[in-house]
């Protein structure tokens, strides 16, 4: 059950959309929301006093602006169960540590819809959190109501866990859910493909959620993105084992490719197992 949500905020325009998404979801699920603003430390410049001073002044302005924006948006959505935290450190590490320390059920972070590919490979904050957090993560790329959800399954334990997590959002938002499985070439009508997609659908039906079933054939990431664009889903849901390398990305890390190339919010489910 989602009781505590952690959202990373920066105070810029795009971050405000992430915050609105988190505030709305916290309101829908009746969860406590913690808005975390990380003031990045610049240890490598410690011996340059003028740089330190200018950075400190600008960082304090960003902090004050961010706090006010958090308050304004929470009031806009009438959300009262809200905490604001300010931390000095590195964004990724700070968010992961806080998620662990506070035992949050869900992490929400933002990402540019068309982020730079080289920056992505080098490890943007959203990318790193998706691959290292032992919590479900929603990556917000634009502000959308959660009316239609595309749940992707390959029959793995990670996919089943992601599907089982879905009712915590769907039962509150009354969203329409489609379960998608992408079959290998020549297996569009195979028994295995039917079994995988039906199994995913049955998990949700047992929880009182009606679903639509779709089986596609081809490359998983390509077909997931094609379906997401075709029906303009508000949220894509995927399970992920995490910690995939750049080599695995090029060999077929479906979650990484969809996360990078999709223009809509994505929920990547990670179980609370192991260490951060």
pLDDT digits (tens, 9 = 90+) for 11-21: 777 788 999 99
Tell me the Ramachandran region of residue 232: left when phi exceeds 0, alpha when psi lies from -120 to 50, beta otherwise: left
DSSP-assigned beta bridge partners for residue 38: 87
pTM (predicted TM-score)? 0.86
How confident is the prediction for the chain on average, in pLDDT?
84
pLDDT tens readout for residues 36-56 = 999 887 665 555 666 667 777
Average pLDDT over residues 212-229: 94
Q: Residues with Cβ < 8 Å from 47, sequence gap 6 or more?
A: none
Contacts of residue 187, Cβ cutoff 8 Å, sequence gap at least 6 = 193, 217
pLDDT tens digits for 179-208? 999 998 877 778 899 999 999 999 999 988
pLDDT tens-digit profile of 81-129? 999 999 999 999 999 999 999 999 999 999 865 445 444 444 578 888 8
Domains in the chain: boundaries:
4-110, 148-269
pLDDT, tens only, 230-264: 999 999 999 987 555 444 444 447 888 898 888 89
The Cα 38–Cα 92 span in angstroms is 9
Write the CA distances from 264 to 10, 46, 85, 176, integer angstroms. Answer: 20, 39, 27, 16
Is it true that 4-110 and 148-269 share their CATH fold? yes
What is the architecture of the domain spanning 4-110?
3-Layer(aba) Sandwich (3.40)
148 φ/ψ angles, rounded to the nearest 5 degrees: -130, 135
Please, are residues 35 and 22 in contact by the beta-carbon 8 Å criterion? yes
Q: Which residues contact 111 (CB under 8 A, 6 or more apart)?
A: 124, 125, 126, 127, 139, 140, 141, 259
Query: What is the rounded distance in angstroms from the CA atom of residue 142 to the CA atom of residue 164?
Result: 25
For 148-269, CATH gives 3.40.50.620
């Amino acid at each position: 059950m989602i009781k505590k949500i952690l959202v990373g905020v920066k105070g810029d325009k795009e971050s405000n959309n992430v915050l609105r998404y988190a505030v709305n979801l916290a309101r829908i699920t009746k969860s406590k929301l913690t808005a975390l603003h990380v003031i990045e430390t610049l240890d490598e410049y410690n011996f340059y006093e003028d740089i330190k001073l200018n950075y400190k002044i600008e960082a304090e302005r960003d902090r004050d602006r961010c706090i006010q924006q958090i308050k304004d948006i929470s009031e806009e959505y009438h959300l009262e169960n809200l905490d604001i935290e300010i931390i000095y450190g590195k964004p990724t590490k700070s968010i992961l540590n806080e998620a662990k320390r506070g035992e949050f059920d869900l992490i929400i972070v933002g990402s540019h819809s068309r982020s730079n590919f080289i920056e992505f490979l080098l490890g943007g904050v959203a990318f790193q959190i998706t691959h290292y957090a032992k919590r479900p993560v929603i990556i917000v790329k634009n502000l959308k109501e959660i009316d239609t959800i595309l749940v992707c399954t390959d029959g793995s334990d990670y996919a089943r866990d992601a599907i089982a997590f879905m009712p915590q959002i769907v039962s509150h938002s009354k969203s329409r859910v489609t379960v998608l499985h992408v079959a290998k070439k020549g297996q569009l009508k195979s028994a295995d493909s039917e079994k995988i997609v039906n199994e995913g659908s049955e998990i949700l039906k047992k929880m009182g959620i009606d679903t639509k079933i779709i089986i596609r054939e081809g490359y998983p990431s390509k077909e997931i993105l094609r379906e997401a664009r075709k029906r303009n889903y508000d949220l894509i849901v995927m399970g992920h084992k995490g910690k995939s390398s750049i080599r695995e990305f090029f060999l077929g890390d479906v979650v990484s490719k969809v996360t990078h190339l999709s223009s809509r919010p994505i929920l990547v489910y990670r179980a609370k197992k192991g260490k951060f």
